[in-house]
Structure 1
Amino acid sequence: MGEAEFLFLLTGLKWTVLLSLVGFAGGGICGLAVALMRSSGIAPLERGTAGYIALFQGTPLLMQLFVVYYGLALVGLKLDAWVAVAIGFTLHASAYLGEIWRGSIEAVPRGQTEAAKALSLHYVARMKDVILPQAIRISLPATIGFLVQLIKGTSLAAIVGFTELTRAGNIVSNQTFKPLLVFGVVGILYFLLCWPLSLYGAHLERRMAVAAR
């Protein structure tokens, strides 16, 4: 494997990072809305978001990408592979992050909410200034853990023709006939991307465990 092939793998790595960031950012925005509705105390919103979460957590990510890319094309909405996988990962991430953050919101001691109500804070101020800052801190280890899983999950985007790191590795492997070498390099690149995040998540988890004693 020469320099040109390695640079092609780095291009695939770039798209893996971009897809992960887009999916995580979009999923974070939608996931926050899901978490707030899931913990709103309004029965129709809670049931609707519970069904949404169950749908995306109960079906394979690969199937979700297929539905977005091929299913929408069947009804006349043909999407570019990049747009399709970005939508697919955003929806997938929103369900998981929504559930993670819903649990974190409910993990904030109830006395905090009661104290905020006693101070006559309305719902938006109560969430923004009291509940969410604590919930975000509680959710950080699980959120980072999910980001690691999302990065590795981007390899499934290759199935709809999107050239991220895994597909780039497959293309180089077919050209060089050195699959062990090529995918060894691909594995190292994934490891270098995910390992620091895993260490950081474990570090945060230890710090929170010490603080809770």
Structure 2
Amino acid sequence: MFFEGTLAWSDILFLLKGAVVTIAITLAAVGIGTLFGTLFGVIRAGAAWWISSPLGWVLDIFRSVPLLIQLVIFNSFNSMFRLNWPTYVVACICLGVYAAALCTEIVRSGVAAVPTTTRRAARSLGLTWRQEVVSITLPIATRIVFPSWIGLALGIMKDTSLVLWIGIIELLRSSQIVTTRIQEPLTILAITGVIYFLMSFPIARLGARLEKRWQIQ
């Protein structure tokens, strides 16, 4: 037993299982968001207005509507259209779309920050638009937007706590279940906070180290 015989190691393990679910959803959502956010960000930065503006309007919807509402709507559509997707898949897709909407503007601002003279010089050397974007623009933009991307990843990790509303037992929901059993909310919330910190701290430190290394280079 642990903590005056009220909190068992099995409870700690239950919280850690919830943390694993949190990490899994975070990785999936950030992966989806980064992939589509990069694509949409490049389009928003360089496409014609009749493509960029409608895309921006659609993404504004996902940035503006609270994530909890999006999760509930996504989950309801899953039932209404009889898709029969597991709630884990629904959560990953919903958070991924939300992350993509945020990441799009991060990438767009990074691409826009690349000097026009640099891009023109690349094109004058004979590079195609695709070669210029992949070899010149995106590497420079990555260094610019990396701190914001780290903040996005950490934010998505914390936002995973909202998936409890569609029935997923992640870290926060695990803490609620344990709290209901042993009636020690402060202790459980403190442990939960420490677990969130242990998951987030390495990402933040890695981001700071990479940013410092790129500045030196």
TM tier, smaller: over 0.9
Provide the aligned C-alpha RMSD in A: 1.8
Distance 1:52 1:206 in 2: 35
1:173-184 superposed matches below 5 A: 173-184=179-190
The two structures have a TM-score, normalised by structure 1, of: 0.92
Listed as ranges, the gaps of 5+ residues in structure 2 are: 1-6
Residue correspondences, number = 211
- Structure 2 partner of 1:58: 64
Q: Write out per-residue CA displacement over residues 36-58 of structure 1, whole angstroms, 9 at most, x where no aligned residue.
A: 21112322220122112211111
Which residue does 1:24 correspond to in 2? Answer: 30
Does residue 1:157 correspond to 2:163, yes or no? yes
Instruction: List per-residue Cα deviations over 1:163-207 (Å, max 9, x = no partner).
Output: 110011111111222221111111110111123333444556667
Partner of 1:13: 19
- Which structure 1 segments of 5+ residues have no match? none
- Asked if 1:193 is matched to 2:163, the reply is no
Instruction: Name whichever of 195-204 and 110-119 sits farther off.
Output: 195-204
Which residue number in structure 1 is paired with residue 42 of structure 2?
A: 36
**Are the counterparts in 2 of residues 69 and 78 from structure 1 also a CA contact under 8 Å?**
no
Match of 1:85 in 2: 91
Is 1:171 aligned to residue 170 of structure 2? no
Per-residue CA deviations over 1:48-86 (Å, capped at 9, x if unaligned) read 221122111111111111111113322333321101101
2:4 maps to none
Deviations 1:76-109 (A, max 9, x none): 3332110110110110110111110110011011
| Match in the other structure for 2:3 | none
Residue matched to 1:117:
123
